[in-house]
Amino acid sequence: MYPDRVVSGMRPTGSMHLGHYHGALKNWITMQAEQPCLFFVADWHALTTHYDDPSIIEKATWDMLVDWLAAGIDPTQATLFIQSRVPEHAELHLLLSMATPLGWLERVPTYKDQIENLANRDLATYGFLGYPLLQAADVLIYRASEVPVGEDQVPHIEMMREIARRFNHLYGKEPGFEQKAQEAVKKLGSKRAKLYNELRTAYQQDGDDDALDQARAMLEEAGSLSMIDRERLFGYLEGSRKLILVEPEAKLTAASRLPGLDGRKMSKSYGNAIALREPKESVTTKIRKMPTDPARVRRTDAGEPARCPVWQFHQVYSDAPTQEWVQKGCRSAGIGCIECKQPVIDAIVAEQEPMHERAQPYLDDPSLVRAIVADGNETARKLAQETMRDVREAMGLSYT
């Protein structure tokens, strides 16, 4: 019923590094060419954990946008915006909160984990508990079908789906729904109406998921329907409610294969990160200082790549012949570690060169970024307002 829209966001809590690039951004860049994409800076989400020190958020927001552009997010393909500039997210969050059972939020695995992990911050707040609900609003407000996220976010997407289902169940009823739906079926024309009824029965009686997909595809193509009839027919396929909000799916990004310099997860707070726009000299120094297989004390000691974080970088950055050169050279002490690291340095520098180039105009003239985002905010806001109109109406709030 709605285009295959992709929505994803990131929290502006620090500078972006190569772990983010290989873990998420590369995936965004692939998707932007294939589907309508909305990518946003989740500044309100940053506040849930940084409410006592919001000063970093503004700078982190603009830096992150430059990083996205540098990485290759293309503002002529994707919509880039800032969450707090589309206040409809907050309105939907509030309205959804009315019918969200507390238990759903308390059960989200990241909730208790984070409270324990970030024990130095007081996270026993209303905002933090509501984090996944705000995230649900971020996505549902665009009726997105896919959300590219990492594994850790899957429970959040699951909860979003429950929220959408509950919303449709509670507010998608309308008096005489069955009759209105049947009238809408007639408007499909007799051939398609017959097919619709067959597919609906196949799904409802036999749980035939293919029939459901086929019927949805047919509705998407049926130009003769008004928006409201379309919502009815989508809902009628599955039951007796209108579909106002759409259940999105998680599109898993493979966990980043690029670890930090010390082999742990790359993270600024571990001091093991390479920034997305790290200066060339500093890339060289950082890689030269990387720990290697501890067994290679002397140049003549043989090593084992499996015990060396440099090898993990080769797996991301090097072609097969180079990888073989590493394997053989390391195990026979035929190459030294400094030598082994050079192709990694070269590859990272080469990967980052176009990023530095793309970033330069935005650094020279920050108003360019402001303008891109102003456009994006406006585009996003229009879409959000359309959904909110339907949401308010469904909840009986459209009186003037």
287 contributes a contact to ligand SF4 by CB under 6 A: no
308 contributes a contact to ligand SF4 by CB under 6 A: yes
Which residues in this chain contact ligand TRP in the complex, by CB under 6 A? 7-11, 42, 45, 135, 138-139, 147, 149, 153
- Minimum distance of ligand TRP from residue 293's CB (angstroms): 33
Query: What does the alpha-carbon distance between residue 149 and residue 146 come to, in Å, rounded to a whole number?
Result: 9
Pick 100 or 292: Cβ nearer ligand TRP = 100
Pick 95 or 140: Cβ nearer ligand TRP = 140
Report the b/e string of 250-265 with b at 16+ CB within 10 A: bbebeebebbbbebee
Pick 147 or 330: Cβ nearer ligand SF4 = 330
Q: Which position has the token pair 């340095």?
A: 345
Q: Where are the beta strands (DSSP E) in the chain?
A: 6-10, 37-41, 79-82, 146-149, 249-252
317 contributes a contact to ligand SF4 by CB under 6 A: no
One-letter-per-residue 3-state SS of 305-331: HHHCHHHHHHHHHCCHHHHHHHHHHHH
243 contributes a contact to ligand SF4 by CB under 6 A: no
- Residue 335 CA: distances (Å) to CA of 100, 245, 249, 286, 328: 60, 59, 47, 20, 9
Contact partner, 292, from ligand SF4, ligand TRP, none, Cβ < 5-8 Å per class = ligand SF4
Contact partner, 135, from ligand SF4, ligand TRP, none, Cβ < 5-8 Å per class = ligand TRP
Contact partner, 293, from ligand SF4, ligand TRP, none, Cβ < 5-8 Å per class = ligand SF4
- Minimum distance of ligand SF4 from residue 279's CB (angstroms): 23
Pick 251 or 307: Cβ nearer ligand SF4 = 307
The token pair that represents 395 in the structure block? 């909840």
Q: For the segment 332-351, give every residue that binds ligand SF4 (CB under 6 A).
A: 335, 337, 340-341
Contact partner, 11, from ligand TRP, ligand SF4, none, Cβ < 5-8 Å per class = ligand TRP
Q: Angle at the Cα of 147 (from 146 to 150), degrees rounded to 5? A: 140
Contact partner, 296, from ligand TRP, ligand SF4, none, Cβ < 5-8 Å per class = ligand SF4
Query: What does the alpha-carbon distance between residue 66 and residue 146 come to, in Å, rounded to a whole number?
Result: 24
261 contributes a contact to ligand SF4 by CB under 6 A: no
Contact partner, 344, from ligand TRP, ligand SF4, none, Cβ < 5-8 Å per class = none
Among residues 84, 1, 80, 2, the alpha carbon closest in space to that of 37 is found at 80
- Residue 21 CA: distances (Å) to CA of 25, 64, 71, 188, 367: 5, 12, 7, 46, 24
Q: Which position has the token pair 């879409």?
A: 383
Taking CB under 6 A as the criterion, the residue among 75, 235, 248, 303 binding ligand SF4 is: 303
